[in-house]
């Protein structure tokens, strides 16, 4: 089996495993493949692949902001997807 076929099958099986779990949380970092199974008491987790700290309630990465600050900035940006993505990307730089 080629490395390319192996990688493709591995990604497919990991995706299927993630989709099959109701408490799975995928890292919000752009293009990161990291995900974890979370307990309802968990508010944040550090991705073991990209090492970014993910906020579970906000479903975002906002390491230098509190949840309230992050939510306020989203409201100021009219809470559209583009604003959220822009804020997430700026926080990862």
Measured between alpha carbons, how far is 17 from 51 in angstroms, rounded to an integer?
Answer: 21
Interval 48-74: pLDDT, tens: 999 999 999 998 988 888 888 888 888
Which position has the higher pLDDT, 13 or 49? Answer: 49
Residue 4 has pLDDT above 80, yes or no: yes
Q: Does pTM top 0.75 for this prediction?
A: no
Dig out the tokens for 7 from the structure.
């990688």
Measured between alpha carbons, how far is 88 from 28 in angstroms, rounded to an integer?
Answer: 8
Which position has the higher pLDDT, 18 or 58? Answer: 58
What pLDDT is attached to residue 1? Answer: 84
In the chain, where the domains are located: 3-92
Specify the pairing of strand 44-46 against strand 35-37. Answer: unpaired
Measured between alpha carbons, how far is 15 from 79 in angstroms, rounded to an integer?
Answer: 28
Interval 77-86: pLDDT, tens: 744 444 455 4
Measured between alpha carbons, how far is 28 from 11 in angstroms, rounded to an integer?
Answer: 17
């Amino acid at each position: 089996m080629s490395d390319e076929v192996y990688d493709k099958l591995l990604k497919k099986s990991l995706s299927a495993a993630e989709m099959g779990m109701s408490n799975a949380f995928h890292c919000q970092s752009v293009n990161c493949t990291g995900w974890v199974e979370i307990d309802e008491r968990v508010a944040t987790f550090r991705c073991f692949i990209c090492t970014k700290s993910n906020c579970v309630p906000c479903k975002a990465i906002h390491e230098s902001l509190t949840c309230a600050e992050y939510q306020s900035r989203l409201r100021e940006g009219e809470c559209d997807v583009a604003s959220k993505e822009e804020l997430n990307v700026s926080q990862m730089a």
